Structure 1
Amino acid sequence: MKRWVKKLVIIFGVLLLIILLANFGLNIWLKTQLPKYIKNNTDYKVSYKSLEVDLLSGNILSTGITINNKNPQNINVIGFQGTVDTLKVSRFGIYNALFNNQISSSDLLLSKPNLNIILARPVDAKKGKRKDPFLFENIRINEGNISMFRYTKQKFFSVKNLSLYVENLQMAEEDAQDKLPVVFDQYSIKGTDFFFRPDEVYALQINRIETKNGQMSVDKFQLTPLITFEQFKKYYPKKHSFFSSMLKKYSSGIFCWQKIKFL
């Protein structure tokens, strides 16, 4: 074997050993110190039963997760409360987590999450834009029970038995009170007991919702007024339509949240 080849083999061998030791050391640190690090450097407290990290790929597998806010009264950050049976993360942004206090990845899988999410108070445009603590491109949820609340603790959205895939998820450019504060390219969804309250006037409820082969089917779609007609005339004098509706079954080839307009 030529001398330069031998040196090259030795160099690669040393590098591989360093990487393996670093990966082993990172896993030990994460298992023993990550909950403390998250508690000291973020607005959340996290515990888990198991955690495995691949330093080279940035992939993470964790089970038995519990997450809560350190200060539930802080309405300036997104609130999380609940559990996740299994979490898988692809290409986790270690640099962002360590130096920018931001959790980011290309793909996120949540299996059997039971979560209450409280949206942060909208940022005053004069004070600048708040940096989102979580950035995920693609999200997949299996068998989830999710509830979302406005910062006022008013229920905004909820769904049970949720199976969801969202591609290229992004937070909306501006904080919104009357619409979902996210945008995305494609999605598929399946769930029951769907609830959505877009404003103070109406609530939307669906017994069962599912997308399949580009079509959406809905069982028992119900749009219910939350106020009386007299209250509507008093508080919304410029609006001329006040209604309630129910559909036992509905299906559509293309369905876009942006095309649903409420009074």
Structure 2
Amino acid sequence: MKGASMRIGSAASYHNDVAVLQLLSRSTSSSGKAAAASSGGVNSGGWDPAGSGNAASSLLTYTASGTLSGSGSTVSLLKTMAASSTFTNAAKGVVDDQVRALVRDGKIATLPPPKDFDPPNLSTAEQNIYHVVQGLQSLYGIQPKTLDEALANHVKTIVDTYPEMIARMKDGLASGTLPESDGWKDVIAKSEADLEAAQQGRMKITAVDDPKLVQTTNEFTVRFDGIGWSGSGTKTTANIPALQELTGTKNVLAGGGPYTSNYVISW
């Protein structure tokens, strides 16, 4: 479903400096032989864990596709990252702007989710790097890359989830577990109207450049709380009455993210 797209406010500018990085990491095996990368520049593997055995260090570079990756396993890549100063803070379980930018721009090979990755004998630093990088990849991975994608995601969520939600609310209303006096009939009616708007393609998305109307903070951080790892992505604040007046409808949802401008979805 395609929605209409327009722009509110002043023109916005966005500039992204992508540096060509080379990470030099010392990597020596227990036998004293160094692992080394190919000296022929950037290659499809990015890092050769076998190496030539002659160099004193391994050179980790971006592949031709711009992705930081290793020709070996995920464990090999984690060990190489742990040896690089680029990931010093990540090794401590702390997110910094350097690693955040690498993940945001897709410069690190996608790590497997925790359910598929539980190798033994990882150091604390390697474990921390894994959770920081993989956590950030998960957070950035769900962000829309365009306004059209943001609208499509919203529409899909409503179409996929609202029918069952509405049915459960109706069952609760009929059984008395959801008292009518609490306003559940109005909630059901609003949900049905939203579902109909999504199904009929009447939702549209509008870019908003005025921070007085919509403002999104890109937090993107991962932390360990002593029990498990958690993270946060974006936080959006909006002047809802102003957006309602501007769009001519009470049905508005504001958002934004690292790859798009701020926006409002209306119907």
The bucket for the TM-score relative to the shorter chain is: under 0.3
Comparing both structures, which one devotes a greater share of its residues to strand? 1
TM-score (norm 2): 0.25
Comparing both structures, which one devotes a greater share of its residues to helix? 2
